[in-house]
Structure 1
Amino acid sequence: MSVDTHPLDAVPGARSDAGTPVAASDPTEQALRRRALGVLGGIGVLALAVTVLYLTVDVRAGWEFTLPFRGRRVAAMVVVGVAVAASTVVFQTLTTNRILTPSILGFDSLYQLLQTTLVFVLGSYALASVGVVEQFGLAVALMVGASLALFLGLFGGARRSLHLVLLIGVVLGTLLRSATALMQRMMDPSEFQVLQSRLFASFTGVDERLLGVSAAVVAVCCGVLWVLRRRLDVVALGRDTAVSLGVDHRRTSLLVLVVVAVLVSVSTALVGPITFFGLLVANLAYALLGTQRHALTLPVAALLSVVTLVGGQTVLEHLLGMETVLSVVIEFCGGIVFIALLVAGGRR
């Protein structure tokens, strides 16, 4: 079975939300199920191993300081990794396209415009006096509010077109990037240098209060997606098929888009934008599992994100001496995967 096989076919005896039974199991599907469970268990062990390695390797300042200090970073990477992985997987399900990520809706551009505007208007010194909680709340409220206005105004309207939402998102993203570039050109060089550090994802200075709130929000959103996992399997078949099987495609899509908006907004406001990270772990999960069934792809993609972030941070800190930031390496690798997917799709 290829990775493009329908998600409900991956597990014998699965049923859609409409109660339609899936075809009877055979030895091949039993083997695929064992493979999927083996991959899930293996990635879980690997995620635990890299986490323990990061927490315990090269401890010089004492366990009392090192474990809480590194533990906050690990917690931030887990929260962000799970949020980005889950949002990307379900967003690709709605769009039936593996090269799209929620960033196409303009989340990253809106975040960069907000940070640029704050530095441009207030200045770096005045901005330093604004609390991190207030900045976090402003960023989340702005991104979620803009997303809801876009979804309800377009997808929730008479046209009800997801493709229209994506198109408007691309156009708005271009406009926001243009406005950001204009302000950056008018900015003082010293202020621009301060701004640059705010535009790249960083896990080193995450506030504990923000981390707790973000973890709670991500947990609730992931719980909603887990409840919807079988319905999403049916949605992956396409709108007409999902409707014929009794799934309210419009309501389900709108609910998932809102959850995606919250996940991406919280993760971006917490550490900064990571454009291609979700693309990387989602497609790797599809390739390893050989199925798109959400009961498997969601946890595997989340665990892969933990392995990637924690393992990458371990290499950067202890082998490369923090010569660069993790988000730059991830964006580079994710960009290569994106190009490879485009080339592979063009040859089909």
Structure 2
Amino acid sequence: MKAICWHGPRDVRLDRVPDPTILDPGDAIVRVTATAICGSDLHLFDGVMPTMKTGDVLGHEAMGEVVEVGSAVTRLRKGDRVVVPFVIACGSCFFCKRGEHTGCDVSNPNAHIARELMGHSPAGLFGYSHMMGGFWGGQAQYLRVPFAEVGPVKIESGLRDEQVLFLSDIFPTGYFAAELCGIERGDTVAVWGCGPVGQMAIRSAWMLGAGRVVAIDRVPERLRMAEAGKAETINFEETRVYEQLMDLTRGRGPDRCIDAVGCEAHGLGSVDALMDKVKAAMMLTTDRAYVLREAIMCCRKFGTVSISGVYVGAVDKLPIGPAMNKGLTFRMGQTPVQRYLQPLLAKIEAGEFDPSFVVTHRLPLEQGPEAYKMFRDKQDGCIKVVLRP
């Protein structure tokens, strides 16, 4: 089959690789009809995420048609149309039973690697390094889905692929980021990063009762999309974010702050942002935490900072003193997508929300390598790419 494969930093290629096969009775094989490039895929593209190997198949946002199931799979059958969540979860361990699927104790066969770096191992993830299991991803013509009884959600309506594809990751992730904030009716919510997850977080904040949403970015088309989602916007190239947020909130600061950027944040003109860039270039750090620092400084006293942007290692100069003295609450994590699949699908089916608004580019799988570069460099107004195998 054809697949988008990682060959090193800034080097992804369309390769011919073996078709996946059933390796366990709980597996299913899905013929991919739509897949997407996620912002967190760019951490792999840039070489920030460790334990990648040449030839790894990328992608963790995919959907398609079931073409084969293992003998233990009873919930799915050949011909079913499904969306596959990026999290691989067994459904029966301590964490899965609590709805904390990203903490699954069973699904990561390389848990020992993650434990060395993190203390404990998260769940296995599709297409996201050998530390996260070494599973091939969905930017391919076919995808092997382990624990198929637990993961995929069936699409039994006539909704278009683009309306439901993002149940695989960015819609639940944006919703989870807003939910972690503990938004109270009327709260001011500030969202750093107007990429796909940020756009979903903006709209999810409204769903959860926000009274005001402020979006922070520097890319004009992203800011326009945020404005279409009824957010006020701040271009951090044109104004100081802290001062603008204080003006908007009469000096109190936002009640809830969402970091939808993560480890490759950009900052302009500040010493700490410059140091982040230099250290990253010299391989002395993996994570540029400018946004997280700024969110801590901007958030109101006894407010909440929610982190949905991916971080992979340690960060420098974290202002823990200000956070402690302001009484901030931090909540963060990879999204336990399985918990949100049915509730969010119900919103789409009811016509309450259509995630497809975020798609700006639709391309064949063969153009995946070019699409990675376009997405990373924010060329041609690119915000979200859907690939068709």
Q: Same fold (TM over 0.5)?
A: no
Per chain length, whose mean CA-contact separation is higher, i.e. which structure has more relative contact order (CA < 8 Å, sep 6+)?
1
Query: Higher strand proportion, which one?
Result: 2
TM-score by length of 2: 0.27
Query: TM-score normalized by structure 1?
Result: 0.30
Structure showing the higher helix proportion among its residues = 1
